[in-house]
Chain A
Amino acid sequence: MASIGVGDTLPDGQLGWFDENDQLQQVSVHVLAAGKKVILFGVPGAFTPTCSNQHVPGFITQAEQLKAKGVDEILLISVNDPFVMKAWANTYPENKHVKFLADGVGTYTKALGLELDLTEKGLGVRSRRFALLADNLKVTVANIEEGGQFTISGAEEILKAL
């Protein structure tokens, strides 16, 4: 399916999440994003270098600025299970706002048309690196990387667009 783009509506889907009380939840994207300004950014894999050392930290450190510009939620998704996402989130003790959501078998990533086959690297089918800005479920910014590189999908680009 074609990748999601500006003007599209964010599809609904279920993502896994260990909430503040350490309870495993399934959350619906529409429930999280309806009526709000949300950033949804995706990475190929937890515990891989660009994701861990550049992409995620960018959103963590810029979270306050993003919120000051009206962003209600900053959602990170990756095709990993919720236990792995929780462990990965714990490696960022300074994180206050980014929610680490698990797209365990990649269903939501497929719904966005953003799957990427990284089988030869031992990862299986994952997600492309991307960042979306959605206002009441309507996509207003869609920055999608071609491969695994990190050029347009960071927090800076979203900040500029706000």
Chain B
Amino acid sequence: MASALARRVGGSGAAALWRAARGFASVGSDIVSSAPGVSLQKARSWDEGVATKFSATPLKDIFYGKKVVIFGLPGAYTGVCSQTHVPSYKNNIDKLKAKGIDSVICVSVNDPYVLNGWAEKLEAKDAIEFYGDFDGSFHKSLDLGIDLSAALLGRRSHRWSAFVDNGRIKAFNVEKAPSEFNVSSAEVILDQI
């Protein structure tokens, strides 16, 4: 058990156990109750925003009754996020769907218009649903917030991934540092589904 956790989050056994039990969300907990009152903004163009009255999507609509793979990253248009993280999921979408996954979601602390522009640029909108945690409250509730002011990004999120089944977190992977890309890839989560 400890070694499996260590393999998932990297680092020593003790550090891995601490990471796995971090904050308010961990394997076994309900992601919706971990972030009460939080909604996300679906990536969209401004016109779509006007048409939908800028409505937000509550977490329960995203997670309940579905098998979801969700991954979070520090920022749209940044290096690792654009070049490796999103492509990892885009390229494995068929395998994920074959394992019964209903939605693959990418979330980051960006507004929904920037996210929309980015998702279109990466040609990933067909495979992946992009949601903006524009005020960071989703990531804060899950204890996944990180201050990246040094990189001029402000408060953002760690790089992470999770497999959530009907709202219950079944697998939860967080990189040691947001610039790394090891445990949060599509390949790793495919093994955990």
Residues of A within 8 A of B188 (CB): none
Residues of B within 8 A of A119 (CB): 135
In the complex, the answer to whether A123 meets B152 with C-beta atoms within 8 Å is no
Complex Cα–Cα for A124 and B41 (A) = 12
Q: Chain A nearest CB: distance from B72 CB in Å?
A: 16
In the complex, the answer to whether B111 meets A122 with C-beta atoms within 8 Å is yes
Which stretch from A3-11, A80-88, A139-147 is at the chain B interface? A80-88
Instruction: Confirm or deny: A48 has a beta carbon within 8 angstroms of a beta carbon on chain B.
Output: yes
In the complex, the answer to whether A81 meets B152 with C-beta atoms within 8 Å is yes
Instruction: Confirm or deny: B174 has a beta carbon within 8 angstroms of a beta carbon on chain A.
Output: no
Instruction: Confirm or deny: A120 has a beta carbon within 8 angstroms of a beta carbon on chain B.
Output: yes
CB under 8 Å from chain A, chain B span 64-115: 75-78, 110-114
Residues of B within 8 A of A16 (CB): 152
Residues of B within 8 A of A42 (CB): none
Q: Chain B nearest CB: distance from A54 CB in Å?
A: 13
Instruction: Confirm or deny: A98 has a beta carbon within 8 angstroms of a beta carbon on chain B.
Output: no
Closest to A86 in B: B77
In the complex, the answer to whether B134 meets A124 with C-beta atoms within 8 Å is yes
Complex Cα–Cα for A106 and B6 (A) = 39
Complex Cα–Cα for A4 and B134 (A) = 28
CB under 8 Å from chain A, chain B span 116-169: 116-118, 121, 132, 134-135, 149, 152-155
Instruction: Confirm or deny: A160 has a beta carbon within 8 angstroms of a beta carbon on chain B.
Output: no
Residues of B within 8 A of A81 (CB): 75, 152-154
Number of interface residues, chain B, beta carbon within 8 A:
28
Closest to A87 in B: B77
Instruction: Confirm or deny: B13 has a beta carbon within 8 angstroms of a beta carbon on chain A.
Output: no
CB under 8 Å from chain B, chain A span 62-88: 80-84, 86-88
Complex Cα–Cα for A47 and B48 (A) = 13
Complex Cα–Cα for A4 and B16 (A) = 51
In the complex, the answer to whether A47 meets B77 with C-beta atoms within 8 Å is no
Q: Chain A nearest CB: distance from B131 CB in Å?
A: 11
Instruction: Confirm or deny: A131 has a beta carbon within 8 angstroms of a beta carbon on chain B.
Output: no
Closest to A50 in B: B46
In the complex, the answer to whether A121 meets B54 with C-beta atoms within 8 Å is yes
Asked if A124 meets B111 with Cβ closer than 8 Å, knowing A81-B154, A102-B152, A105-B149, the reply is yes
Asked if A48 meets B121 with Cβ closer than 8 Å, knowing A81-B154, A83-B76, A123-B134, the reply is no
Complex Cα–Cα for A124 and B149 (A) = 17
Residues of A within 8 A of B113 (CB): 45-48, 122-123
Q: Which B residues are within 8 Å of any A CB, using their own CB?
A: 41, 45-47, 49, 54, 56, 75-78, 110-114, 116-118, 121, 132, 134-135, 149, 152-155
Can you list 17 A-B pairs with a CB-CB distance of less than 8 A?
A26-B152, A45-B113, A45-B114, A46-B113, A47-B113, A47-B116, A84-B110, A87-B76, A87-B118, A120-B54, A122-B41, A122-B54, A122-B56, A122-B113, A122-B132, A122-B134, A123-B113
Inter-chain pairs besides A46-B113, A120-B54, 9 sampled, C-beta below 8 Å: A46-B117, A47-B113, A81-B152, A83-B76, A105-B149, A122-B41, A122-B113, A122-B134, A124-B111
